[in-house]
Amino acid sequence: MLDFADVSVIDNHCHPIEPEKAVMDPEMLAREFFHGMGDIPDPGIKKAKLWGATQELRYHFLHMGVVHTMVCQLSKVLGCPAELEAVTSERNRRTAESFAAYARLLYDDAGIVGTVLDTGLHKDDPILELIPGKVMRLFQMEPLLRKLLEQSGSYQELLRGYQETLDRAVRDDGCIGVKSHLAEQVGFGVKPVSEAEAEAIFPAAKTGDSEAFKKLYVSIFTATLLQCQDLGVPVHLHSGFTGGLWNGSISNADPFLLVHLLRQPEFLQTRIVLLHGGYPWIQHAAAVAHALPHVWVDMGWMTPWISLRIVECYRDVIAMAPLSKLMIGSGGHGTPEIAWLAAKTAKIALAKALGDAVKLDLMASKQAEKAGRMILHDNAVRMYGLGK
Ligand SMILES: [Zn+2]
């Protein structure tokens, strides 16, 4: 029987904990796991998932599979009945004393020792101290691109400003990779844009033309891929269902659509991490990681969101991608429960999927145990050079 309960975890994909979420009512805690649209549009609020919710929609928040899993697992840690009201009230009792101590309780329980964080926060921001263990930040591509588009008079000026800032972020400020939303902003099925073309569409992009902006985005994205080779850091890409709502079609986030771009010889030395396991195109993400030498798969967001089908999801990835190219993540944000639940469900999924492989004589138990440790922890150590 494989058991990974005591194995350390590095969460490869997470967002900051938000201090204002220390105390929440049961429905708000459940809603943290909702990634759809609200049904009462609020003209002042851009993000449709932050819109108001009718009684009807609020009823459904409580019945998402992942919320059931959270309640089930949290009741064991907190020693209370497996009911949303009971676990929320016990969690609030503890967070009211210390949100940081509560986060530490959960991270210790799941064994999370390090976190790769998608954030624009400065490395000394006290909010980062809420996350227990080692925190490693990514450089965010979009906010800088939009700022420089406003400030720059030409594409060359923008590109120079971008490259200098990225260089400093990695060399001086400790960022360990770049985060891009290519799927949401443009779609994966893109062709490289030449510098001459980028120069030509720059004025239109500056005045808000969305097609021109997409071209500009691709141009800066491919420049980023090349720069990351020199800097020796990976590029993280949301893939599949990313928890956001798209400008374009969700089908543009299928990892297969990326192959045309990524297989270009000049990009083969850039390490790419496909976040969210490409869900629901899990097998596609795994196949791309098998076929392309520079692609890894992060299984975050599947854990914890797809908790009721998590074993099958993990089987789909480990079936095809080299086990040395897999990492676990969470897509956590706001509250520590998400990252904690991701690590817990990852351990459950790996114990079952790898354990079955042992039972069927598809793997020896030593091989399976090592593979589990690699996926939970060691592959991330290797990816970010943490052992040095
Ligand atoms: Zn994400």
**DSSP-H helix ranges across 117-181:** 141-151, 155-171
- Distance in Å, CA 359 to ligand 1 centroid: 34
Structural domain of 57: 22-99
Task: Say how many Å lie between the CA of residue 381 and the centre of ligand 1.
Answer: 20
Q: How much is the pLDDT for 244?
A: 64
Please check whether residue 355 lies inside any domain of the structure. yes
135 and 37 assigned to the same domain: no
Residue 302: per-residue pLDDT: 94
Question: Based on the domain organization, do 203 and 299 belong to the same domain?
Answer: yes
CB 310 within 8 A of CB 303: yes
Domain match, 264 and 284 both: yes
Task: Quickly tell me which residue has 């969470």 as its tokens.
Answer: 330
Q: Is residue 11 part of a domain?
A: no
Last residue in a domain, options 99, 128, 157? 99
375's CB contacts (< 8 A; 6+ apart) are 299, 318, 323, 326, 327, 328, 346, 350
Q: What amino acid occupies position 50?
A: L
Domain C-terminal end among 99, 115, 144: 99
pLDDT of residue 246: 54
Distance 119 CA to ligand 1 centre (A): 11
Q: What is the pLDDT of residue 317?
A: 97
Task: Cite the beta strand spans of the chain per DSSP E.
Answer: 9-17, 112-118, 134-140, 178-180, 235-238, 272-275, 295-298, 300-301, 326-327, 332-334
Instruction: Quote the ligand 1 centre to 20 CA distance (angstroms).
Output: 21
Instruction: Retrieve residue 143's tokens.
Output: 């906010």
Residue 299 lies in a domain: yes
Q: Does 300 lie in the same domain as 270?
A: yes
Centre of ligand 1 from the C-alpha of residue 242, in Å: 6
Locate 327 and state its tokens.
Answer: 């990492």
Residue 15 falls within a domain, yes or no? Answer: no
Report the separation in Å between the CA atom of 332 and the middle of ligand 1, taken as the mean of its atom positions. 8
Tell me, in angstroms, the distance from the centre of ligand 1 to residue 137's CA: 14
Does residue 350 lie within any of the structural domains?
yes
CA–CA separation, 378 and 370 (whole Å): 9
276 C-alpha to ligand 1 centroid (Å) = 6
Terminal-residue alpha carbon distance, the chain: 33
User: How far is Cα 304 from Cα 63, in angstroms, rounded to an integer?
Assistant: 15
- C-alpha 300 – ligand 1 centre gap (Å): 7
How far away, in angstroms, is 366 Cα from ligand 1 center? 32
Q: How far is the CA of 73 from the centre of ligand 1 (A)?
A: 22
Residues 90 and 134 in one domain: no
143 and 272 fall within a common domain: yes
Q: How far is the centre of ligand 1, averaged over its atoms, from the C-alpha of 117 (Å)?
A: 10
Residue 8 lies in a domain: no
CA of 228 to the centre of ligand 1 (A): 20
Q: How far is the CA of 353 from the centre of ligand 1 (A)?
A: 24
- Residue range 320-331, pLDDT digits in tens: 999 999 999 999
Question: How many residues belong to the chain?
Answer: 388
Q: What's the 301 CA to ligand 1 centre distance in angstroms?
A: 7
- Predicted local distance difference test score (pLDDT) of residue 84: 98
27 and 175 part of one domain: no
For residue 244, report the distance from its CA to the centre of ligand 1, in Å.
Answer: 8
CATH number at residue 223: 3.20.20.140
Six-digit token string for 27:
């429905």
Following DSSP, what letter does each residue of 279-308 receive, concatenated? TT-HHHHHHHHHHSTTEEEE-EEHHHHTGG
CA of 14 to the centre of ligand 1 (A): 7
Low-confidence ranges of the chain (pLDDT < 50): none
Both 86 and 115 in one domain: the answer is no
pLDDT of 47 reads: 83
- Do both 168 and 233 map to the same domain? yes
Residue 314's pLDDT is: 97
Domain total in the chain: 2
Q: Are residues 86 and 126 in the same domain?
A: no
Q: In the prediction, which pLDDT does 10 show?
A: 98
Q: How far is the CA of 195 from the centre of ligand 1 (A)?
A: 30
Residue 1 falls within a domain, yes or no? no
Nearby residues for ligand 1 (ion, Cβ within 5 Å): 331
Measure 78 CA to ligand 1 centroid, in angstroms: 27
Asked if residue 128 and residue 188 are part of one domain, the reply reads: yes
- In-domain check, residue 3: no
Domain end marker among 42, 65, 99 = 99
Those residues whose C-beta lies under 8 Å from the C-beta of residue 73, and which sit 6 or more positions away, are: 341, 344, 345
- φ and ψ at residue 50, rounded to 5 degrees: -95, 0
Q: Let me know whether 72 and 107 are in one domain.
A: no
